[in-house]
Structure 1
Amino acid sequence: MRLKSFYGANMTEAMRQVREALGDDAIIVATRDDENGGVRVTAAVDDPVLSDSAPSRRPSSVDTVDSESIDLIAQALVAHHVPLVIAEKLLATATQYANDDPLLSIGAALDTHFKYAPLYDETLVRPLILIGPPGAGKTLCAAKIATQLTLQKKDIAVISTDTERAGGMAQLGAFTRLLKTDLIEIEDPHALRDAIGMQKNGTTVIIDTAGCNPLAEADRQYLTALIKAANAAPVLVLPADLDVHEATDMAAAFQKMGASRLLPTRLDMTRRLGGMLCVAYETHLPFCHFSASGKVTEAPQPLNPVSLARLILPKKAEQPARAKAQY
């Protein structure tokens, strides 16, 4: 399967180009208005180089179902404002795995083009430090993670470096008191190193940091010093509703400071996930979990190919073809 984009002043012009270049067998997988005016059409056609060695075609009814599945995926990617380069790659891979369940097809594509690393893999041997811009939701995520681990009967230590923000320490302190856990306040990297060294073996250390302006050199230097002092696993907490270009630049800056995983927040307030996908695609940061609630009792959810596919596809579109096949 080969995908290609065509541009025209209108749909008729774009479709004429599709037919001339790919022939009558071309499949339209996505259409959208071009940012420079006109229409952009993405079309697919079987690659003749692959066709000779490919297995014989399945019955046309199955092909129709598969085509409907890919069309649903294409519509979802357009609705989420997924950048064209990423959408084309996802569609190409989803087409290779096309079947009557679009969830499986897009899940396979997301598994191919994005990385994933569970949040708790390293926390038993390395502290978990949450980093990100101001207002990203780091303190709430720290409280959620602490709550989840406490419910799992894990030993935890909660440390905050957010000593300057009004109310920041009080907010996290209120949560830790409910968990019957002390909140350790530190003001410099040396104190952070000592606080971590005081913990007994097997304790999961969760570190909440102050919001960092990635454009300010002083902020970058201080956060980098904290990460090195803690020998921690840095998780970038980033709102999913930021401007895509700003978010990508921010993520790249935090990655240089040591960010190793991406935890998107505000998914309950975000209807378009194209920006989040762009951040992960451009930086190659693995997804770990996501937060979709302002309630501390609702833990961050694992973000893997299947859960990400469910976030992208509308619920009613997950298995429409399978439902049709029953009649």
Structure 2
Amino acid sequence: MKMKKYTAPTMVEAMAKVREDFGDDAVILSSNVTKTKGFLGLFSKRSVEVVASYDKTNDQRIYETPVRSAPQQLAKPESVERIQREMREIKQMLHDIKPSDRSFDKFPDELLPVLKKLQAQGLDHEYIMEIGNLIFNRMKQDKADYAEDQQMAIVHEWLKERLQDIPFGGISYQKKFINVLGPTGVGKTTTIAKIAARALLEERKKVGFITTDTYRIAAIEQLRTYANLLQAPVEIAYNEEDFHAAIEKLKDRDLIFIDTAGRNYKEAKFVDDLKNLIDFSLEMETYLVLSTTSKEQDMETIINRFEKLPIEKFIFTKTDETNSVGSMFNLMLKNRIGMAYFTDGQEVPEDLTEADVEKVLALLLEGDSHA
């Protein structure tokens, strides 16, 4: 019979080592959780100690025949049933074991809740590791553990610093045309109605609409409904000629909102169609609407498709339909494009928030879009 002691950060990793040496029929004699101090006596770490054995002679578990020669009795006969049950559970664990994310192993336990919160929010792994290193280094420098609110203050500081050169804020009211792009299903038409309603009610602007979404009758009717509530005209543009005719009809308006077709903009040809229809040389602000419920990789693909168009800022929708908004920060930081608005519901014009750094940080760190 062979016997060996294993030490690992978690039980899963300890079991992986046992399985590697003894296979699925190993017997766990004992297990114990220990906690040790780290650097300068601080930053405690938990570890698991497991003693396992394997009888090569007959592959019988040692608890089925009491080991009388052992210096200490490892298990009483009445505990055999319990141990066998535990062994079955551990054996199943060994079968189900998957490689674990070891990237946080370098950090103390006190830091893990904050890092895992950022991970759950979908913040890019590279950014999380930078934040973790920053907090850990400050803890070592001060020779003290930081409470979670102190750690979150450092996270806030790190993100704010990296967002300081990225533009935030809604439409400028300096340009006549507000062009809103985005794929199908992101809530583009409702978002346009919210922005237009704010312009009408708060800034007393005369607004009008042009829709190029001629593929869906429902989309046109939806925009007409909003326009009627705002007592604003709507023009439909099927082609470039119609587009310029609509501009002429709406020339008395202070702001003209352009509702483009929702298409699968992962395909380049639909972006080319937009270029051929809309005159981007006009006095125009262009915004790209993305849904926070979409996969970040898909959103990145769409952004890349629009890279040759003058995207002013992002508008992120459906923040009330997801618990993870880290993708907003990833996309802004990687593309150096800011945010104009984010939405958190269907009410017009209420569920629209003009973005600034503190509001979007609250959305990530506190889960409160209006902090």
TM-score by length of 2: 0.63
Q: Measure, in 2, the Cα distance between the counterparts of 1:268 and 1:26.
A: 40
Looking at structure 2, the residues matched to 288 and 104 of structure 1 have their Cα atoms a distance apart, in angstroms, of: 25
Tell me, yes or no, if structure 1 residue 119 matches structure 2 residue 140.
Answer: no
CA-to-aligned-CA distance 1:2-48 (integer Å, 9 cap, x gap): xxxxxxx84599xxxxxxxx9447869xxxxxx95342217579xxx
Which structure 2 segments of 5+ residues have no match?
1-7, 14-37, 45-97, 139-145
Contact 2:176 2:254 in 1 (8 A): no
**Cα distance 1:250–1:315, how it changes in 2: closer, same or farther (>3 A)?**
closer
Tell me the SS of whatever aligns to 2:103: strand
The change in CA–CA distance for 1:73 and 1:288 in structure 2 (over 3 A counts) is farther
Question: Normalising by structure 1, what TM-score?
Answer: 0.71
Find out whether 1:167 has 2:218 as its counterpart: yes
Match of 2:184 in 1: 134
- Following the alignment from structure 2 to structure 1, what is the Cα–Cα distance between the partners of residues 247 and 231? 19
Match among 209, 215, 222 for residue 158 of structure 1: 209
C-alpha contact 1:82 1:275 (8 A) present in aligned 2: yes
Mean CA deviation greater in 224-233 or 184-193: 224-233
Is the contact between residue 223 and residue 257 of structure 1 (CA under 8 Å) also seen in structure 2? no
1:206: how far off?
Answer: 1.1
Which secondary structure state, in structure 2, belongs to the residue aligned with residue 113 of structure 1?
helix
RMSD: 3.6
Alignment-mate amino acid for residue 103 of structure 2? R
Q: Is 1:222 the equivalent of 2:267?
A: no
- Measured against aligned partners, the alpha-carbon deviations of 1:42-101 in whole angstroms (never above 9, x if no partner) come to 7579xxxxxxxxxxxxxxxxxxxxx98x776534312212121122345567888x9966
Q: Tell me, what secondary structure is at the counterpart of 2:338?
A: coil
Q: 2:228 aligns with which of 171, 177, 186?
A: 177
Identical aligned residues as a percent: 20
SS at match of 1:191: helix
Residue pair 1:252, 1:283 contacting (<8 A) in 2 also: no
Q: Which residue of 2 aligns with 1:76?
A: 117
Tell me, which stretches of 5 or more residues in structure 1 are unaligned?
Answer: 1-8, 14-21, 29-34, 46-66, 317-327
Distance 1:267 1:227, change over 3 A: farther
Q: Go from structure 1 to structure 2 and tell me whether the alpha carbon gap of 1:133 and 1:26 turns closer, same or farther (over 3 Å shift).
A: farther
For residues 223-251 of structure 1, the C-alpha deviation after alignment (integer angstroms, 9 at most, x for no partner) is: 12315254522111000011121122222
What is the match of residue 31 of structure 1? none
Query: Quick check: 1:119–1:289 contact (8 Å CA) kept in 2?
Result: yes
Correspondence 1:241 to 2:300: no
Higher relative contact order (CA 8 A, sep 6+): 1
Residues in 1 aligned to 2:201 and 2:41: alpha-carbon distance in whole angstroms: 57
Query: Does the C-alpha gap of structure 1 residues 255 and 227 become closer, same or farther in structure 2, counting only changes over 3 Å?
Result: farther
Q: Aligned runs of 1:1-327 on 2, under 5 Å?
A: 10=9, 23-24=39-40, 36-41=99-104, 73-90=114-131, 105-114=154-163, 115-121=166-172, 123-152=173-202, 153-200=204-251, 203-225=254-276, 226-228=278-280, 230-314=282-366
User: Which residue type is aligned with residue 185 of structure 1?
Assistant: I
Q: 1:165 to 1:91 in 2, by over 3 A?
A: farther
Alpha carbons 1:241, 1:266 under 8 Å: kept: yes
Which structure: larger Rg?
Answer: 2
Structure-1 separation of matches of 2:282 and 2:104: 50
